[in-house]
């Protein structure tokens, strides 16, 4: 893995430093506001951070350097990556911040020589198309195990 990287734009910072991540905020967004992992437990979010290349987006004008965006890349840094958990806090949307975060992410040195980079999205295709992603032309080659209700089941005693 490469060293920690940081990018600056106006008062905003994107950083891959995991020690800066505001896990409580990430967990709050993912567990209550995302459409893909509602109810995800905090310890699962923490474990996912440990095993991933993470991009935190911070507002330097906020007294607490609030984390206002996040993206996570699951990768071996050699052959393959999966981009996920991409979000911008609602009050910061529509200002180009997700595009900038994706710019930082896709320029990361560990992701330059991979054979495949994948992601899933319900409605943000046009965002990712700006960075070279295309709908797969060979869905018949791809298989998956889906456990969409796994976090709901975890809550059941
Ligand atoms: C999707 C999301 C990250 C966009 O963040 P943002 O900072 O508001 O987006 P930006 O201002 O950088 O602009 C995004 C660009 O992608 C386009 N876009 C495509 N699909 C979009 C979508 N579903 N939502 C927002 N923008 C979208 C926008 O039109 C814009 O392009 P333009 O500048 O050419 O008009 C944000 O709306 C969000 O967090 N949504 C909830 C979580 C989510 O859906 N994450 C993506 C999971 S795959």
The pLDDT-based confidence of 1 (bands split at 50, 70, 90) is: low
Q: Which residues pair with 72 in a beta bridge?
A: 54, 84
β-pair partners for 71: 55
Does residue 1 lie in a domain region?
Answer: no
> Is the distance from the beta carbon of residue 94 to the nearest atom of ligand 1 less than 6 Å?
yes
C-alpha 101: how far from chain center: 9
- Atom 25 of ligand 1, residue of closest alpha carbon: 124
What radius of gyration do the chain's Cα atoms show?
16
How far away, in angstroms, is 124 Cα from ligand 1 center? Answer: 6
Within a domain: 109: yes
CA angle 146/147/149 to nearest 5° reads 140
- Give mean pLDDT, residues 14-29: 98
The bridge status of strand 116-119 relative to strand 80-88 is parallel
Bridge partners (DSSP) of residue 65 are: none
| Ligand 1 within 6 A of CB of 23 | no
**Which pLDDT tens digit goes with each residue over 38-84?**
999 999 999 999 999 999 999 999 999 999 999 999 999 999 999 99
Strands in 38-146 per DSSP E: 53-59, 67-75, 80-88, 116-119
Q: What digits encode the pLDDT tens for the residues 97-135?
A: 999 999 999 999 999 999 999 999 999 999 999 999 999
Tally the domains of the chain. 1
Residue 114 lies in a domain: yes
11 in any annotated domain: yes
Inside any domain, residue 17: yes
Greater confidence (156 vs 152) lies with 152
pLDDT of the residue at 7: 98
Specify the 3-state DSSP secondary structure of 133.
coil
The answer to whether 7 and 104 are in contact (CB under 8 A) is yes
- Asked if the structure places residue 49 within a domain, the reply is yes
pLDDT number for residue 2 = 72
Which of 55, 125, 126, 132 is the pocket-test mutation for ligand 1 (most atoms within 8 Å of CB)? 126
Please count the residues of the chain. 157
Residue 142 has pLDDT above 70, yes or no: yes
Ligand 1 and 87: CB distance under 6 A: yes
CA distances from 46 to 13, 49, 62, 72, 80 (A): 21, 5, 24, 12, 22
Residue 115's CATH number: 3.40.630.30
Average pLDDT of the segment spanning 13-27: 98
pTM over 0.85: yes
157 band by pLDDT with thresholds 50, 70 and 90:
low
The answer to the question of residue 148 being in a domain is yes
User: 14 in a domain, yes or no?
Assistant: yes
Q: Does position 90 have pLDDT exceeding 70, yes or no?
A: yes
The per-residue pLDDT for 138 is 96
Query: Residue 44 belongs to what domain range?
Result: 6-153
């Amino acid at each position: 893995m490469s060293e920690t990287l940081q990018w600056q734009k106006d008062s905003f910072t994107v950083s891959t430093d995991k020690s800066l991540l505001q896990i409580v905020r990430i967990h709050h967004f993912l567990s209550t506001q995302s459409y893909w992992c509602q109810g995800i437990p905090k310890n699962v979010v923490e474990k996912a951070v440990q095993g991933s290349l993470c991009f935190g987006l911070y507002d330097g004008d906020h007294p607490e350097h609030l984390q206002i965006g996040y993206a996570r890349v699951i990768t071996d840094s050699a052959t393959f990556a999966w981009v996920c958990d991409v979000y911008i806090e609602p009050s910061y949307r529509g200002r180009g911040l997700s595009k900038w975060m994706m710019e930082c992410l896709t320029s990361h040195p560990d992701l330059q020589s991979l054979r495949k980079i994948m992601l899933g999205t319900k409605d943000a295709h046009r965002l990712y198309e700006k960075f070279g992603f295309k709908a797969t032309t060979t869905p018949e080659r791809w298989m998956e195990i889906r456990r969409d209700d796994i976090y709901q089941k975890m809550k059941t005693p």
